[in-house]
Amino acid sequence: MGRSNRKDNPQRPPVYHAKKQFGQNFLRDEGIIAAIVDAIAPGDDATMVEIGPGLGALTEPVCDRISHLNVIEIDRDLAEKLRHHPFIREKLTIYETDALTFDFASLKTGKPLRIYGNLPYNISTPLLFHLLSFREQIADMHFMLQKEVVDRLTAAPGSKDYGRLTVMGQYAARMMPFLAVPPEAFVPSPKVDSAVIRIVPHQELPYPAEDEKLLNRIVTAAFSQRRKTIANSLSEFLQAGDFARLAIDAALRAENLSVEQYVRICNHVRQRDGS
Protein backbone atom coordinates (compact mmCIF):
# COMPACT_ATOMS: atom_id res chain seq x y z
CA MET A 1 0.00 0.00 0.00
CA GLY A 2 1.19 3.54 -0.67
CA ARG A 3 2.06 5.72 2.27
CA SER A 4 -0.30 8.50 3.35
CA ASN A 5 0.51 12.16 2.90
CA ARG A 6 0.87 12.85 6.62
CA LYS A 7 4.17 14.24 7.89
CA ASP A 8 6.43 11.93 9.85
CA ASN A 9 7.84 13.44 13.05
CA PRO A 10 10.51 12.00 15.39
CA GLN A 11 7.95 12.13 18.20
CA ARG A 12 4.22 12.63 18.20
CA PRO A 13 3.21 15.67 20.26
CA PRO A 14 0.50 15.20 22.88
CA VAL A 15 -2.74 16.41 21.28
CA TYR A 16 -5.23 14.73 23.55
CA HIS A 17 -5.56 14.48 27.31
CA ALA A 18 -5.34 10.85 28.43
CA LYS A 19 -8.21 9.56 30.53
CA LYS A 20 -7.18 7.76 33.70
CA GLN A 21 -10.29 5.56 33.79
CA PHE A 22 -9.17 3.96 30.52
CA GLY A 23 -5.52 3.61 31.55
CA GLN A 24 -4.39 5.59 28.50
CA ASN A 25 -0.70 6.11 27.67
CA PHE A 26 -0.16 7.13 24.06
CA LEU A 27 2.85 5.76 22.21
CA ARG A 28 4.81 8.54 20.47
CA ASP A 29 8.34 7.27 19.71
CA GLU A 30 8.53 6.82 15.93
CA GLY A 31 11.45 4.39 16.07
CA ILE A 32 9.58 2.07 18.41
CA ILE A 33 6.39 2.44 16.39
CA ALA A 34 8.24 1.42 13.22
CA ALA A 35 9.84 -1.57 14.96
CA ILE A 36 6.45 -2.79 16.21
CA VAL A 37 4.77 -2.42 12.82
CA ASP A 38 7.64 -4.26 11.13
CA ALA A 39 7.29 -7.07 13.68
CA ILE A 40 3.54 -7.28 13.09
CA ALA A 41 4.11 -7.32 9.31
CA PRO A 42 0.44 -6.60 8.54
CA GLY A 43 -1.08 -7.92 5.34
CA ASP A 44 -4.40 -8.52 3.62
CA ASP A 45 -4.05 -12.28 3.97
CA ALA A 46 -5.50 -11.96 7.49
CA THR A 47 -8.25 -10.08 9.31
CA MET A 48 -6.32 -7.37 11.13
CA VAL A 49 -7.63 -6.11 14.47
CA GLU A 50 -6.28 -3.33 16.68
CA ILE A 51 -7.34 -3.00 20.31
CA GLY A 52 -7.19 0.52 21.71
CA PRO A 53 -5.97 2.50 18.69
CA GLY A 54 -5.90 5.71 20.71
CA LEU A 55 -4.46 8.55 18.64
CA GLY A 56 -3.51 6.22 15.78
CA ALA A 57 0.22 5.82 16.43
CA LEU A 58 0.12 2.21 15.22
CA THR A 59 -3.11 2.51 13.27
CA GLU A 60 -1.74 4.88 10.64
CA PRO A 61 1.40 2.91 9.62
CA VAL A 62 -0.52 -0.37 9.71
CA CYS A 63 -3.15 1.10 7.39
CA ASP A 64 -0.35 2.09 5.03
CA ARG A 65 0.18 -1.63 4.39
CA ILE A 66 -3.36 -3.03 4.28
CA SER A 67 -6.73 -2.26 2.72
CA HIS A 68 -8.91 -2.75 5.82
CA LEU A 69 -8.50 -2.66 9.61
CA ASN A 70 -10.92 -3.43 12.44
CA VAL A 71 -10.38 -1.30 15.53
CA ILE A 72 -11.89 -1.64 19.00
CA GLU A 73 -11.99 1.59 20.98
CA ILE A 74 -13.95 2.14 24.21
CA ASP A 75 -13.30 5.91 24.35
CA ARG A 76 -16.08 7.58 22.35
CA ASP A 77 -14.00 10.73 21.81
CA LEU A 78 -11.11 8.78 20.29
CA ALA A 79 -13.51 6.69 18.22
CA GLU A 80 -14.98 9.91 16.85
CA LYS A 81 -11.50 11.20 15.96
CA LEU A 82 -10.84 8.02 13.99
CA ARG A 83 -14.14 8.39 12.12
CA HIS A 84 -12.89 11.74 10.81
CA HIS A 85 -9.24 10.81 10.32
CA PRO A 86 -8.25 12.36 6.97
CA PHE A 87 -5.96 9.55 5.81
CA ILE A 88 -7.31 6.23 7.10
CA ARG A 89 -11.02 6.56 7.95
CA GLU A 90 -12.15 4.76 4.79
CA LYS A 91 -10.07 1.73 5.74
CA LEU A 92 -11.49 1.39 9.24
CA THR A 93 -14.37 -0.53 10.77
CA ILE A 94 -14.70 0.94 14.25
CA TYR A 95 -16.23 -1.00 17.15
CA GLU A 96 -16.94 1.47 19.93
CA THR A 97 -17.03 -1.05 22.75
CA ASP A 98 -15.07 -2.75 25.53
CA ALA A 99 -12.58 -5.32 24.24
CA LEU A 100 -13.16 -7.34 27.43
CA THR A 101 -16.68 -8.17 26.26
CA PHE A 102 -16.15 -8.13 22.50
CA ASP A 103 -16.98 -11.33 20.60
CA PHE A 104 -13.90 -11.79 18.43
CA ALA A 105 -15.54 -14.79 16.77
CA SER A 106 -18.01 -12.34 15.20
CA LEU A 107 -15.25 -11.12 12.84
CA LYS A 108 -15.95 -13.88 10.35
CA THR A 109 -14.12 -13.26 7.08
CA GLY A 110 -12.71 -16.69 6.29
CA LYS A 111 -9.26 -15.39 7.24
CA PRO A 112 -7.36 -15.89 10.51
CA LEU A 113 -7.39 -13.05 13.02
CA ARG A 114 -4.21 -11.12 13.70
CA ILE A 115 -4.61 -8.85 16.71
CA TYR A 116 -2.34 -6.14 18.09
CA GLY A 117 -2.44 -3.11 20.35
CA ASN A 118 -1.05 -1.00 23.16
CA LEU A 119 -3.16 -2.53 25.93
CA PRO A 120 -4.29 -0.60 29.01
CA TYR A 121 -2.24 -2.10 31.82
CA ASN A 122 -5.16 -2.13 34.25
CA ILE A 123 -7.07 -4.70 32.16
CA SER A 124 -4.26 -6.54 30.38
CA THR A 125 -4.47 -9.83 32.30
CA PRO A 126 -8.24 -10.41 32.02
CA LEU A 127 -8.14 -9.24 28.41
CA LEU A 128 -5.42 -11.77 27.55
CA PHE A 129 -7.50 -14.58 29.06
CA HIS A 130 -10.53 -13.36 27.10
CA LEU A 131 -8.55 -13.31 23.85
CA LEU A 132 -7.09 -16.75 24.42
CA SER A 133 -10.60 -18.14 24.66
CA PHE A 134 -10.78 -17.39 20.90
CA ARG A 135 -7.39 -18.97 20.17
CA GLU A 136 -8.71 -21.26 17.43
CA GLN A 137 -9.52 -18.21 15.30
CA ILE A 138 -6.33 -16.26 16.07
CA ALA A 139 -3.07 -16.62 14.13
CA ASP A 140 -1.02 -14.32 16.35
CA MET A 141 -1.13 -11.29 18.64
CA HIS A 142 1.35 -8.48 19.29
CA PHE A 143 0.82 -6.41 22.43
CA MET A 144 2.48 -3.64 24.36
CA LEU A 145 2.22 -4.62 28.01
CA GLN A 146 3.70 -3.73 31.35
CA LYS A 147 7.14 -5.37 31.40
CA GLU A 148 6.23 -7.18 34.61
CA VAL A 149 3.35 -8.91 32.79
CA VAL A 150 5.61 -9.91 29.88
CA ASP A 151 8.13 -11.31 32.38
CA ARG A 152 5.36 -13.38 33.95
CA LEU A 153 4.02 -14.64 30.61
CA THR A 154 7.46 -15.80 29.51
CA ALA A 155 8.80 -17.10 32.86
CA ALA A 156 10.30 -20.55 33.32
CA PRO A 157 9.41 -22.95 36.16
CA GLY A 158 11.31 -22.17 39.34
CA SER A 159 11.52 -18.40 38.76
CA LYS A 160 9.86 -15.75 40.91
CA ASP A 161 7.77 -14.54 37.95
CA TYR A 162 6.30 -17.99 37.28
CA GLY A 163 2.64 -18.09 38.31
CA ARG A 164 -0.95 -18.72 37.28
CA LEU A 165 -0.71 -16.30 34.35
CA THR A 166 2.41 -18.12 33.13
CA VAL A 167 0.90 -21.59 33.27
CA MET A 168 -2.46 -20.73 31.73
CA GLY A 169 -0.87 -18.46 29.14
CA GLN A 170 1.78 -20.96 28.06
CA TYR A 171 -0.81 -23.74 28.08
CA ALA A 172 -2.67 -21.87 25.31
CA ALA A 173 0.12 -20.16 23.34
CA ARG A 174 3.78 -19.57 22.66
CA MET A 175 5.03 -16.38 24.33
CA MET A 176 7.90 -14.46 22.70
CA PRO A 177 9.12 -11.09 24.03
CA PHE A 178 10.93 -8.97 21.47
CA LEU A 179 11.13 -5.29 22.44
CA ALA A 180 11.66 -3.34 25.67
CA VAL A 181 10.03 0.11 25.74
CA PRO A 182 10.99 2.88 28.20
CA PRO A 183 8.43 5.17 29.88
CA GLU A 184 9.53 8.20 27.85
CA ALA A 185 8.19 6.57 24.69
CA PHE A 186 4.67 7.47 25.88
CA VAL A 187 2.56 10.51 26.68
CA PRO A 188 1.89 10.61 29.56
CA SER A 189 4.86 8.56 30.71
CA PRO A 190 3.80 5.53 32.77
CA LYS A 191 5.53 4.82 36.07
CA VAL A 192 6.58 1.36 34.87
CA ASP A 193 8.66 -0.11 32.06
CA SER A 194 6.87 -1.67 29.11
CA ALA A 195 7.61 -4.43 26.63
CA VAL A 196 6.13 -5.86 23.44
CA ILE A 197 5.32 -9.55 23.22
CA ARG A 198 4.35 -11.82 20.33
CA ILE A 199 1.75 -14.44 21.26
CA VAL A 200 1.07 -17.36 18.92
CA PRO A 201 -1.88 -19.51 20.07
CA HIS A 202 -1.39 -23.26 19.82
CA GLN A 203 -3.58 -24.62 17.05
CA GLU A 204 -2.86 -28.06 18.50
CA LEU A 205 -2.21 -28.03 22.23
CA PRO A 206 1.10 -29.70 23.22
CA TYR A 207 -0.50 -30.88 26.46
CA PRO A 208 -4.31 -31.01 26.08
CA ALA A 209 -6.33 -30.79 29.27
CA GLU A 210 -9.50 -32.88 29.34
CA ASP A 211 -11.20 -30.11 31.36
CA GLU A 212 -9.72 -26.61 31.03
CA LYS A 213 -11.93 -25.21 33.79
CA LEU A 214 -10.62 -27.87 36.14
CA LEU A 215 -7.06 -27.06 35.04
CA ASN A 216 -7.65 -23.42 35.89
CA ARG A 217 -9.04 -24.36 39.31
CA ILE A 218 -6.02 -26.53 40.07
CA VAL A 219 -3.50 -23.90 38.95
CA THR A 220 -5.34 -21.17 40.87
CA ALA A 221 -5.37 -23.29 44.04
CA ALA A 222 -1.66 -24.07 43.73
CA PHE A 223 -0.57 -20.45 43.33
CA SER A 224 -2.99 -19.03 45.91
CA GLN A 225 -0.74 -20.73 48.47
CA ARG A 226 2.53 -20.69 46.56
CA ARG A 227 4.72 -20.82 49.69
CA LYS A 228 3.20 -24.14 50.69
CA THR A 229 4.06 -27.50 49.18
CA ILE A 230 1.65 -28.83 46.59
CA ALA A 231 0.75 -31.58 49.06
CA ASN A 232 -0.95 -28.80 51.04
CA SER A 233 -2.06 -26.37 48.34
CA LEU A 234 -3.57 -29.14 46.19
CA SER A 235 -5.02 -31.21 49.04
CA GLU A 236 -8.51 -30.52 47.67
CA PHE A 237 -7.55 -32.43 44.52
CA LEU A 238 -4.77 -34.89 45.37
CA GLN A 239 -3.92 -37.37 48.11
CA ALA A 240 -0.56 -38.99 48.83
CA GLY A 241 -1.24 -41.94 46.53
CA ASP A 242 -2.06 -39.62 43.65
CA PHE A 243 1.38 -37.98 43.75
CA ALA A 244 3.02 -41.39 43.55
CA ARG A 245 0.91 -42.40 40.56
CA LEU A 246 1.74 -39.12 38.84
CA ALA A 247 5.47 -39.41 39.64
CA ILE A 248 5.38 -35.85 41.01
CA ASP A 249 7.17 -34.92 44.24
CA ALA A 250 4.56 -33.74 46.78
CA ALA A 251 7.22 -31.59 48.47
CA LEU A 252 7.49 -29.28 45.44
CA ARG A 253 5.92 -25.83 45.41
CA ALA A 254 3.60 -24.39 42.79
CA GLU A 255 6.33 -22.58 40.85
CA ASN A 256 8.33 -25.81 40.44
CA LEU A 257 5.73 -27.58 38.29
CA SER A 258 5.76 -27.37 34.49
CA VAL A 259 2.71 -26.77 32.33
CA GLU A 260 2.81 -30.43 31.34
CA GLN A 261 2.73 -31.51 35.00
CA TYR A 262 -0.27 -29.31 35.77
CA VAL A 263 -2.10 -30.80 32.79
CA ARG A 264 -1.15 -34.29 33.94
CA ILE A 265 -2.61 -33.54 37.38
CA CYS A 266 -5.79 -32.19 35.80
CA ASN A 267 -6.31 -35.22 33.57
CA HIS A 268 -5.58 -37.60 36.44
CA VAL A 269 -8.18 -35.93 38.65
CA ARG A 270 -10.71 -35.90 35.83
CA GLN A 271 -10.20 -39.60 35.06
CA ARG A 272 -10.08 -40.64 38.72
CA ASP A 273 -13.31 -38.88 39.61
CA GLY A 274 -14.99 -39.77 36.35
CA SER A 275 -16.29 -36.20 36.07
**CB crowding 225-260: b at 16 or more within 10 Å, else e:** ebeebbbebbeebbeeebbeebebebebbbbbbbbe
User: What per-residue confidence (pLDDT) applies to 106?
Assistant: 95
Check whether residue 157 and residue 227 sit in a common domain.
no
User: What per-residue confidence (pLDDT) applies to 230?
Assistant: 98
pLDDT > 90 in the chain, percent = 77
User: What per-residue confidence (pLDDT) applies to 18?
Assistant: 40
Residue range 216-231: mean pLDDT, rounded: 96
**Helix or strand (DSSP H, E) at 126:** helix 124-132
15 inside domain: no
User: What per-residue confidence (pLDDT) applies to 24?
Assistant: 52
Check whether residue 104 and residue 68 sit in a common domain.
yes
User: What per-residue confidence (pLDDT) applies to 30?
Assistant: 94
Q: Which domain holds residue 103?
A: 20-201
Check whether residue 174 and residue 230 sit in a common domain.
no
Classified as helix, coil or strand, 180 is strand
**pLDDT exceeds 50 at position 144:** yes
Residue at a domain's end among 182, 201, 220: 201
Check whether residue 194 and residue 138 sit in a common domain.
yes
Q: How many structural domains comprise the chain?
A: 2
Of residues 266 and 187, which shows the higher confidence score?
A: 266
Of residues 16 and 81, which shows the higher confidence score?
A: 81
Of residues 255 and 1, which shows the higher confidence score?
A: 255
CATH number of the domain encompassing residue 197: 3.40.50.150
Cα separation values, 194 from 34, 55, 140, 165, 222, Å: 16, 19, 20, 17, 28
Structure confidence at residue 109 as a pLDDT band (50, 70, 90): confident
Neighbouring-strand partners of residue 142: 116, 198
Q: Where on the phi/psi map is residue 121: left (φ > 0), alpha (ψ -120 to 50), or beta?
A: alpha
Check whether residue 91 and residue 24 sit in a common domain.
yes
Check whether residue 129 and residue 244 sit in a common domain.
no
Phi first, then psi: what are they for 224, rounded to 5°?
Answer: -70, -20
Of residues 206 and 121, which shows the higher confidence score?
A: 206
**Average pLDDT for the chain:** 90
User: What per-residue confidence (pLDDT) applies to 199?
Assistant: 98
232 inside domain: yes
2 inside domain: no
Q: Identify whether the C-beta of residue 109 lies closer than 8 Å to the C-beta of residue 47.
A: yes
Largest separation between any pair of C-alpha atoms in the chain:
70
Structure confidence at residue 275 as a pLDDT band (50, 70, 90): low
**pLDDT exceeds 60 at position 8:** no
Cα separation, 123 vs 118, whole angstroms: 11
